[in-house]
Amino acid sequence: MDVSKKSSGRSSRQQDKSNPFRMPKNIRKAFAKHERGAVPESDTRVLTYNGVINTTTGSVIGATIGSGLATSATEYASMAARYQEFRVLAVKVKWCPRFGQANESCAVAESGQPLGCIFTSGVAPSSVAAMAASDGFKIAGGTSKHLELEVDHKVNPNALFWAPATGSVASVNQFGITIRHPGVCPANLNNVNCVDYYAEFVVEFRTAS
C-alpha cells in the first residue's frame, strides 16, 4: 500500500489540527485585515459635546439635545471618516448653571429651577405643562440647580435605523432630552452665558451594509 499518497490526501483542516503551532483561521484572518489596514466592521463609542446657553431678553433659558446632535460631537468626524453608517443608542445630559459672575447668577435665579424630560420622534415639548406630562420629567433639586438626565433608543423604535455617516439622523428617528427654566430672561440680563451643558452620545458605527 502506498502510504505517502494516503497521507498527502489530508485536508487543510486536518493539517491545522496536526500542527499545534498553526494559528486558528479566525486569528489569521484578523491579522490579515490588520496588515491591509482594514477597520473593524463595527465600533461603538461614547462621544462628547459641550454647549453654552446664552440669554436673550424675553426668551426661555433652555436647550433641546437630540440624538442628531451626535454629529457635532468630539471625535465624530474622525469616526465618520472610517465608517459609512451610524446610529445613536443613548444620550446623557448634565445641565450646570453658572454662578461665578453676578449677571450669570442673576439670570439663573430669575429664570427659576430647571426642568427636564425626554422626547421621541424628534418632537420636543415646548411648554412646561407639556414637559410635565412627558416621560422622564424631572425637576432639579437643591440650590445648585444642576440637572442630569439620560435616555436610550428604546423610546423610539425608529432610532435603530442606520444613517449615512456623512449625513444626519432623520427627525422621526431621533430621541433626546430637553431642559428649560420655567421663567424667561429679564430685559437687563440680555446676552449672558449662564449655563453650561455636557452631552454624551453612545454611537454605533459600521462599514457599508
Residue-level pLDDT, tens digit, the chain, 209 residues: 454 444 445 554 555 556 655 666 766 666 666 566 555 689 999 999 999 999 888 888 999 999 999 999 999 999 999 999 999 999 999 999 988 888 888 888 888 889 999 999 868 898 899 999 998 999 997 777 899 999 999 999 999 999 999 999 999 999 999 999 998 888 888 898 999 999 999 999 999 75
54 and 151 fall within a common domain? yes
Overall domain count for the chain:
2
Same domain flag for 24 and 79: no
Q: Which ranges of the chain would DSSP assign to H, the alpha helix? A: 3-8, 12-18, 25-36, 76-80, 102-111, 128-132
Give CA–CA dist 114/178, Å, rounded.
10
Q: Are 49 and 29 part of one and the same domain?
A: no
Give yes or no: residues 173 and 199 share one domain: yes
Per-residue HEC secondary structure of 152-176 comes to EHHHCHHHHCCEECCCCCCHHHCEE
Model pTM score: 0.78
Question: Does 114 lie in the same domain as 98?
Answer: yes
pLDDT at 114: 92
| Owning domain of residue 12 | 1-38
Q: Find the CATH number of the domain harbouring 68.
A: 2.60.120.20
Tens of pLDDT along 97-148?
Answer: 988 888 888 888 888 889 999 999 868 898 899 999 998 999 997 777 899 9
One domain for residues 97 and 197: yes
Note whether 9 and 59 are same-domain residues: no
